[in-house]
Amino acid sequence: MFRENKESRLLIVLKGGKVEFQAVNIDMVELATMCGALEQLMGVEAIRRGKSLDDVKDSMLDIHFAAMRTLSEQIIREEEENSDS
């Protein structure tokens, strides 16, 4: 699954209210692993700030659903643009 000597990088920058990504030497498994680690980091920080575990889980699920809704809208928009061409 993971290649031992492979180094993968994911740079996430918030700039002017927009999130920019740069991925280097990364595939789906590594990207999923990194995303899971980020979610865990966010959850630990939220709990440290007084949120309950259930609140953290609910918030993370809301974030996931919003991201998937945005992805669906983007795919529909791109398909419509391609069919108009």
| Alpha-helical segments (H) within the chain | 28-48, 53-84
Tens-digit pLDDT profile for residues 5-42: 789 999 999 999 999 999 999 999 999 999 999 999 99
pLDDT at 3: 60
Mean pLDDT score across all residues of the chain: 91
d(CA 53, CA 59): 10
pLDDT at 2: 58
Tens-digit pLDDT profile for residues 26-85: 999 999 999 999 999 999 999 999 999 999 999 999 999 999 999 999 999 999 999 886
Q: Are 46 and 56 in contact (CB under 8 A)?
A: yes
